[in-house]
A = this chain, B = another copy of it.
Amino acid sequence: MTLTGQMFLAGDRVLGSGGEVHATDPRTGATLEPAYRYGTAADVDRAATAAGQAFRTFRRTDPKVRAEFLDAIADKLTALTEQVVERVQAETGIAEARVRGELARTTNQLRLFAGVVRDGSHTGVRIEPALPERTPLPRPDLRQRKVPIGPVAVFGASNFPLAFSVAGGDTASALAAGCPVVVKAHSSHPGTSELVAGAIAEAVAEHGLPAGVFSMLYGEGREVGTALVAHPAIAAVGFTGSRSGGTALVAVANARPRPIPVYAEMSSINPVVLLPGALAERGSAIGAAFVGSLTMGVGQLCTNPGLVFAVESAGLQDFLEGAGAAVRESAAAPMLSATICSAYDRGVQALRENPAVEEVATGLDDESISARGVTHLFTTTGEAFLADESLSAEVFGASSLVVRVPDAALLPELLERLEGQLTATVHLAEQDVPAAEELLPVLEEKVGRIVVNGWPTGVDVGAAIVHGGPFPATSDGRSTSVGTLAIDRFLRPVAYQDVPAALLPAEVRGE
């Protein structure tokens, strides 16, 4: 597929009339061709209106057709593998193996949702046949199912140019639900977005679906995104990105004449708790494995372990030595963009300048990389952590802060102080179980996923995963943006009372 710099508006390729943008290779700082042009509010109107018009037809497609459509997108992306792998690396600096893994995750995710559509249980059918003899009042025939909510606006994320972007989890779950999708692509990987959007648009056409089922736009600043969320035809929003970006979109959605739900995954520092038994048993190994998780994706994963509560105990020194050694051996690597890299450097600088914080270890530098992330490991005391809110701020990148906690009994209070999180992790040995029992209820109220003796990075995409959590981890803690339950975000229940079989939708006919 030749890159053209164009957007996809309901089946048409359209060159934007807004400002021009080029992707930049964060490894070298080189400008990448072709030029992309931003869209305008008029383009948003065209895409969203077409999505609104396509909705009724699309939502009533046979589930088999919708499943085949999702599988076809996966097939087309697989066919584009080599071009996608090359372009993603150039636009994001993500290492080849991780790009291949992310592409596989993306196509698996599309196929997973094809399976969800075929299975059909997401429609939550409930049937209560009439009870004409019931007293004091007869019961009518009542049947319930969930129907799609309407066209969904999806915002591509910078850190997962495939799995949380144009054909990522939000798009896959929305299309599976029967909702047309309008994507605002992330400006840092426009070429990747064009390749993926081309695959979706082809699949739309080949399956005889209305062209408005899918559109993708580029947009500068917040103009296009705001217009999209404010558009009357849009019924819900999926977003992965910064807290400021997410809360801005929530504000736009709430200010509409008809407010709509926003599923924004925003911010998480993913606390890790190290209990004394685990530290004593395998402190050094935990330290090395921790740095593996910390440096995965150059620390730019939503589930990156940015905060460690380690109980002062015999094994803590082993942990710090194990982690320190691994940090010192960790190579510098390209970050996603120069902007993200500068923000990371500022976050690290603030920790360095904090008198209550000590730098334990620093990773290798590599001046040949333009926007590079160097690993950093800091420590502080429990007292200092409680006294200084800035120490629980997210530093997006491979930096983590180890809080030395004098006594495991203080852990609940420390955890209570945190805002909502995507994940929390506990490392424990047999002897730590009583202490862990005290922590679990706190964590259940604070996070979306609890991990024991593992690491929060590496989200398994299936039926039981939760990638969500209380605010500000997400704007809506009642949901997950990864895994099959994600489809529930784009559904709402409808009841049919005494509707004759001839008029009932197939799912609730009960045949």
Residues 473 to 511 of chain A near chain B (Cβ within 8 Å): 475-480, 485, 491-500, 502-503
Q: Which residues of B contact A137 (CB under 8 A)?
A: 458
> Of B451, B466, B493, B498, which contacts A451 at CB under 8 A?
B498
Whether B462 pairs with A142 at a CB distance below 8 angstroms is yes
Counting chain B CB atoms within 10 Å of each CB, which of A259, A452, A470, A493 scores highest? A493
Whether A462 pairs with B139 at a CB distance below 8 angstroms is yes
Whether B261 pairs with A478 at a CB distance below 8 angstroms is yes
| Shortest beta-carbon distance from A134 to chain B in Å | 9
Stretch at the interface among A71-79, A339-347, A436-444: A436-444
| Shortest beta-carbon distance from A136 to chain B in Å | 7
> Of B101, B450, B477, which contacts A492 at CB under 8 A?
B477
A259-B493 in contact given A444-B147, A460-B140 (Cβ < 8 Å): no
A393 contacts partner chain B, Cβ-Cβ < 8 Å: no
Complex Cα gap A84–B8 (Å)? 63
Q: Which residues of B contact A127 (CB under 8 A)?
A: 464
Whether B444 pairs with A149 at a CB distance below 8 angstroms is no
A433-B503 in contact given A466-B493, A495-B464 (Cβ < 8 Å): yes
Q: Which residues of B contact A503 (CB under 8 A)?
A: 433, 436-437, 440, 452
Number of this chain's copies in the complex: 2
Complex Cα gap A479–B485 (Å)? 16
> Of B433, B452, B470, B497, which contacts A450 at CB under 8 A?
B497
Q: Which residues of B contact A104 (CB under 8 A)?
A: 136
A189 contacts partner chain B, Cβ-Cβ < 8 Å: no
| Shortest beta-carbon distance from A117 to chain B in Å | 18
Whether A60 pairs with B441 at a CB distance below 8 angstroms is yes
A384 contacts partner chain B, Cβ-Cβ < 8 Å: no
Chain B residue nearest in CB terms to A261: B478
Counting chain B CB atoms within 10 Å of each CB, which of A101, A441, A476 scores highest? A441
Further pairs besides A126-B485, A142-B462, A437-B503: 18, Cβ < 8 Å: A127-B464, A128-B460, A140-B451, A142-B464, A144-B463, A144-B465, A147-B444, A150-B445, A258-B472, A261-B476, A440-B503, A447-B494, A449-B494, A450-B499, A454-B497, A478-B492, A479-B492, A480-B493
Can you name 25 A-B pairs with beta carbons within 8 Å?
A: A55-B445, A56-B445, A104-B136, A124-B485, A126-B463, A127-B464, A139-B462, A143-B464, A144-B465, A144-B466, A258-B419, A258-B471, A258-B472, A261-B478, A440-B503, A444-B494, A449-B495, A450-B496, A452-B498, A452-B499, A460-B497, A465-B495, A466-B493, A466-B495, A478-B492
